Amino acid sequence: TGAAPLGRWMAGSPFAVPNPADLAEAFRWSEHRTVTKTALVSLHGNRYQVDPLLSGQRVELVFDPFDLSFLRVRANGQDAGTALPYQISRHSHPKARPETPAELPRPTTGIDYLGLIDTAHTRTVAEKVNYAAFAVDLESDTEPEQ
């Protein structure tokens, strides 16, 4: 083109931002299956019901690998509807790994350390303060000496 790469890049801006639906569609996975005579297709241990008119045809199943409960069906490059879950046993693709592994729960000892500290503190404070010494005996007949 005879133009510097940076100059050519800057001449093309602003760049279009993709539509979220188009972006999601770009990252979907697809596999080909043959529809049985009972209008069922199988994908990773799950069976799906499709349009009975597709019986015996080879179709393309387009899906999100993290959610196998919704599949789009394409026959001969044309949209042929949705595959409904017939018998679902696996809810995600076997090769789809979660982005962050789940943290294992820490084992508990069964000892309430804060409760033990609170009990010991309460016992120590109760021994140091003698509330009985503050009480005045009103019924005593003794008079203070002068």
Residue 43 within any structural domain of the chain: yes
Tell me what pLDDT residue 133 has: 67
Residue 25 within any structural domain of the chain: yes
Tell me what pLDDT residue 132 has: 66
Residue 30 within any structural domain of the chain: yes
Residue 32 within any structural domain of the chain: yes
Residue 34 within any structural domain of the chain: yes
The total number of structural domains that make up the chain = 1
Sign for the CA dihedral angle at 106, 110, 111, 113 comes to positive
**Structural domain containing residue 34:** 20-87
Tell me what pLDDT residue 90 has: 67
- 3-class SS string, the chain: CCCCHHHHHHHCCCCCCCCHHHHHHHCCEEEEEECCCCCEEEECCEEEECCHHHCCCEEEEEEECCEEEEEEEEECCEEEEEEEEEECCCCCCCCCCCCCCCCCCCCCCCCCHHHHHHHHHHHHHHHHCCHHHHCCCCCCCCCCCC
Stretches where the chain sits below pLDDT 50 are none
Residue 71 within any structural domain of the chain: yes
Residue 133 within any structural domain of the chain: no
Residue 106 within any structural domain of the chain: no
Tell me what pLDDT residue 87 has: 64
Tell me what pLDDT residue 43 has: 92
